[in-house]
Structure 1
Amino acid sequence: MAKKFLILLTITVLIFGLAGCRTRGGGGSASKRVELTYYKLFDAEDTIKPIIQAYEKAHPNVKIKYKKFTEVEEYEELLINELAEGEGPDIFEVQNTWVPRHMKKITPLASETFTPQIFEETFVTVAAKDFLQVDPKDGVVKVYALPLSVDTLALYYNKAHFDRYVTETGKPALSWDGIKESVFQLRDDEGGALVRSGIAMGRSDNIALAEDILYALFLQYGVNFYDSTYKNVRFATGEGQDALKLFTSFADPKQKHYSWNSSLVNEDSMLKEVEAFLTGKTSMIIGYASLYEDFEVMSKNVKSAGQDVISLADIEVAPLPQKAEAEEQFKTYASYFGQTVSRTSKNPSQAWDFIQFLTTKEQAQKYLDAAKRPTARRDLIEGQKRDPVLGVFVQQLGYAESIPVYHDRKFKDFFVDAITAVVDDDMTPSEALSEAQQLINAILPEGGIYPPPPGIK
């Protein structure tokens, strides 16, 4: 009997000992083998791989498969289709304006240690407005994504052009009125043909970011894009019309600051206004920080097509021009991505754990150094202010805002058409915006772009 007891005791000890070996080093579920799939736009694997490897080293039971995408529309369509079928990635990148439309595809962060308050303390305000949303399931504000970077619209300019033709300042003005004067000085239209433009503004067929620039002007002019219920847009106001008038005035030959037409760059050009800028046909373009790292490759491509290009050393950055004189009223438009967890993930807690690791100060710094992007974290702003390019973009973060564009592709089409209607079809800004407003209201959800909390209709 004693011998049988000793055998049973030994077996019991071995069983519990082996169980302890399986759970040691992370406890419970941490020892479970987990494979996470991560979809992300634009960043090469070499940019993100060191951070993934650091996480996997600290969590030996976790393996992360990274997949890069380059076409935004194809990426979004793939996400929609895969998630609808109960498949898709565990972690994916979501554009800041996509959250209202794709909210039900996201598993929000459930954490007592990373609360919405901590989010606001960690990341810049525009990110909090975009990624802290009310969960329609319980009416509680939750974190829907964490950003690595926040990009904003700023002004790229040809320093050589300004030194030669705007010698008294040598750089762009901070106001739109000042920009108009500089455009007049920079423009070369001898013989009646526009040979050199001051700034790429006024049209939408050959300016890739026309609608984003218009969004920025809406912000500067104080346009309330939606009504208070977010069930209807209401931008066809006097302020909205003034914003559209300013944008399209740069394509009006009757204006002293006339600066842009359809002949400067073909609408079929892949690079559009960037091509005109790199070939010296325009002195200023509006763009995001992400554009700067692409100038070298783009310049080589334009040169290989047989066109002369400017020196990249002549490209400098200035803040986006403003309507307001007081700095506390400055506005620029923000467009960026956040990392989030899909509702189809079988390991949402582990997925969110990786995202939190990815966006810590140390790991975010690694990413920003590799990707050359402006930070989203407040505690990394000061270090980037000294950067000759990124410094301009991070200094704008304090007044960056966004607009919750419910369907960016359709909104883009409507505003592109509105701009064209004013420039080419002699439609008034009031008529063009009223038509766009009607078209957008027709595609908005009946209950508004944000799903109502329980008990509210």
Structure 2
Amino acid sequence: MVRIIMKLKSKIQLTFIISILLFTIVGCRCTLLPSAEEKQKLQPISLRYWRVWDSPSNFSGILSAYSAVHPNISISMQILRYEEFERKLLEAYADQKPPDIISFHYAWLPKYVDKKYITPLPSKISMAFQYKQTTMGIKEETIIELKNTPIPTLTQLKNDFIETVSNDVVIDNKIYGLPLSLDTMVLYYNRDLLDKARIPVPPTNWEEFQTAVKKITALNEKGGIEIAGAALGSADNILRSPDILMLLMKQSGASIIQNGSVQFTSSKRAGYNPGLVALQFYTDFSNPQKEVYSWNNEMPDSLRAFADKKLAFYFGYSYDLPSIISFSRNTLNLGITKMPQLQQGEPEANIANYWVETVSSRSKHINEAWDFILFETSKKQVESYLTSAKKPTALRALVDTQLKDEKMNIFASQLLTSQSWYRGKDINAAEEIIKDMINNVNAGQDPAQSLNMAAQRIQQTIN
């Protein structure tokens, strides 16, 4: 009986030893014996990432999280000044050394697609994931697993992001970029100047806005503007003046650009010219003969005037806030409210302004570059970025969260009604044409003629 027990114990011990050996050999295969495909995907990769505006610290959490699952991939981020960005980018392409990942304005996409400088999101991306795993509490192993990265469909893109994104980043049914955030223009105001003019709340529509501007604007004995109600009417000293005018056109009912055609003047209402109505409304604010006269070409730039407390209303984006606080030395009694709209009952319209992340067609690691973009624009990672960068979201899933954020709720409240206005190949030229149109009207040219000439010139940037 004892001999039988001893034999049984020996068999159990032998089985246990064999199991441990098998466990060691098989279990370690993930680390020591990767497949040929795994070996290829585990090769060290360096990705270069060019951006403007942001600080690298806004991405520290994202980069760390990505490195944890892809330790073989290193990403070096370079922040360039806006004034030099496109010049240096084009020089890099000319030298055959562009960055792998690029962040640029959504309106640049058609131009860069046309030049074949960027590549769309691939239909399939396979990546090697690495993570630690402890088995049976005995041994920690590095597990290597090949996974296909989920690729969003066009329907998913539309469901996940603010409406304008799918309209802007999809070209020939391919996705060419994804945003981390999306900005909307709001109305900044000086609470002290409104209080002085006995205006208890900021305007919500343009009729109230005109009334407020007339109450606030103060002229000296020579007719010079001492305190400006609004920075409207001119072109070159008003930041984002083309956006303001295009928003007025949208609210007036103009399609602006539809199916590749400039539509400033078309309307469903017979005899109504929405572009002309918007242009005349805008330029009235720089016409000394009008009651709403409050601005002219002699004024400083609009942001500086607002920060210096010489301007009551300033139209700007969330990215303007740090400059306003800095220039005013944080002494401005600042308020932020939604953009004025037409009278109640009319559909709300707002302007969108944002940048997208895309991949160079010259990159040697297109799949890995796009995999990182998909990772950084996912909900969890975007939350990290938005919290650090203090920007409005481009993801629908985060709108409600930002509506509860005191510093973001005004911007977030406009996201679902915001649209971009330009879809062509040269946004910079189009904006200069709009400024020319404004200046021509202020110089005495017939507004209808100026509008038609501008539409023809902008059409040339689209064809």
TM-score range, shorter chain: 0.7 to 0.9
User: What TM-score do the two structures reach when normalised by structure 1?
Assistant: 0.83
Superposition map of 1:148-297 within 5 A: 148-167=180-199, 170-191=200-221, 192-226=223-257, 228=259, 230=260, 232-236=261-265, 238-265=273-300, 272-297=301-326
Structure 1, 284-293 or 237-246: larger mean CA deviation = 237-246
Larger CA Rg, structure 1 vs 2: 2
1:227 deviation in Å? 5.2
Structure 1, 338-347 or 78-87: larger mean CA deviation = 78-87
1:29-59 superposed Cα distances (whole Å, 9 cap, x missing partner) = 4312111010111111111233112211221
Give secondary structure in 2 for the equivalent of 1:89: coil
Q: Does 1:409 align with 2:440?
A: no
Counterpart amino acid of 2:159? E
Task: Tell me, yes or no, if the aligned pair for 2:393 and 2:399 is still in contact at 8 Å.
Answer: yes
Q: Distance in 2 between matches of 1:325 and 1:370?
A: 36
Q: Does 1:102 align with 2:112?
A: yes
- Which structure is higher in strand share? 2
Q: Distance in 1 between matches of 2:168 and 2:438?
A: 27
Q: Does 1:346 align with 2:381?
A: no
Q: Which residue of the partner structure matches residue 5 of structure 1?
A: none
1:359-418 superposed Cα distances (whole Å, 9 cap, x missing partner) = 111211111111110011111111111223321111101110012243121112111111
Instruction: Give the percent of matched residue pairs that are identical in Structure 1 and Structure 2.
Output: 29
User: What TM-score do the two structures reach when normalised by structure 2?
Assistant: 0.82
Structure 2: 5+ residue stretches without partners: 1-24, 125-149, 267-272
Change (3 A) 1:25 1:293: farther
Task: Tell me, yes or no, if the aligned pair for 2:424 and 2:461 is still in contact at 8 Å.
Answer: no
Q: Distance in 1 between matches of 2:327 and 2:153?
A: 42
Tell me which of the two structures has the higher relative contact order, counting C-alpha pairs closer than 8 angstroms and 6 or more residues apart: 1
Give secondary structure in 1 for the equivalent of 2:119: coil
Task: Tell me, yes or no, if the aligned pair for 1:318 and 1:392 is still in contact at 8 Å.
Answer: yes
Q: Which residue of the partner structure matches residue 344 of structure 2?
A: 325
Give secondary structure in 2 for the equivalent of 1:97: helix
* Aligned residue among 72, 81, 86 for 1:76: 86
1:19 deviation in Å? 9.6
1:77-131 superposed Cα distances (whole Å, 9 cap, x missing partner) = 3223323543201111121111111123221112463222221221111112111
Q: Distance in 1 between matches of 2:366 and 2:457?
A: 38
1:422-443 superposed Cα distances (whole Å, 9 cap, x missing partner) = 11x1012111122222323344
* Aligned residue among 373, 381, 387 for 1:369: 387
1:263-311 superposed Cα distances (whole Å, 9 cap, x missing partner) = 332xxxxxx10111011111001000111122232234xxxxxxxxx72
Counterpart amino acid of 2:156? I
Counterpart amino acid of 2:121? L
Q: Distance in 1 between matches of 2:30 and 2:413?
A: 54
